[in-house]
Amino acid sequence: SVMNRLDRGTSGCVLCAKTLMGANFLSKGLKDHTIHKYYHTIVKGILLGSGVITARLTKDERRNLVQLQDLTHCKEDGKNPPIDSADLTQTVYRTMAFNREQGLSLVEVELKSGKTHQIRSHFASIGHPIAGDRKYGDFQWNQQLYKAFHLDSQLLHCRQVGWESVKIDAPYFSKFQQIRDFYFCLRRETALHANMEFQRSSRFFPGRFDQPHQ
């Protein structure tokens, strides 16, 4: 049986249990947060260092969207404010790299709670929408990414799930790998056509790779 779910358009690790014992183990670990889930994403804007986003989520079932209340965004590295209520959601992030000229950041995310659209709505709420996100993202930017890379889903990938000594990794899907390499690894020869299309469709031009300042 499938033990965790991903939003439509999100890629990466999905845990499945083959036995009842395995299902009970995974269910308890996910509930107790002893099983850790790490995501990688590309967001708009320069997001430095690390931080914690906490908010209450309410879902509009008719529109399949979530709304945030009591939002807090703490930029205190390594310090996670406690979740004092069952309906609070919390997202911890760390910037891995950024492209200053393009205004993009590659971010690692750890979920301290797991709700529908949590990561996507949290980053949109602090002004850093996820690339390709049709519900919470930047429409004009998404159009530019589609013209350049034919990107038709959000760049959000469950990179690793693990507990104790067990780590399960999922490689990037091809489109995420292509865009990450283009903007953050300078492998531009693999995306020359995309580069030309992106220049035609926007005022942006490829920038240099920058390591985040700690």
Task: Return the domain boundaries, the chain.
Answer: 36-201
Q: pLDDT higher for 177 or 111?
A: 177
Backbone CA torsion sign across 212, 98, 14, 78 = positive
> Is it the case that residue 192 has pLDDT exceeding 70?
no
> Is it the case that residue 96 has pLDDT exceeding 90?
yes
Residues 6+ apart with CB under 8 A from 33: 112
Weakest-pLDDT range from 2-11, 46-55, 81-90: 81-90
* 101-110 mean pLDDT: 94
Q: How confident is the model at residue 121 (pLDDT cuts 50, 70, 90)?
A: very high
Q: For residue 148, which amino acid is it?
A: A
Q: Give percent helix, percent strand, percent coil of the chain, each to the nearest 5.
A: 25, 30, 40
What is residue 11's predicted lDDT score, i.e. its pLDDT? 95
The CATH number given to 36-201 is: 3.30.2350.10
What is residue 77's predicted lDDT score, i.e. its pLDDT? 53
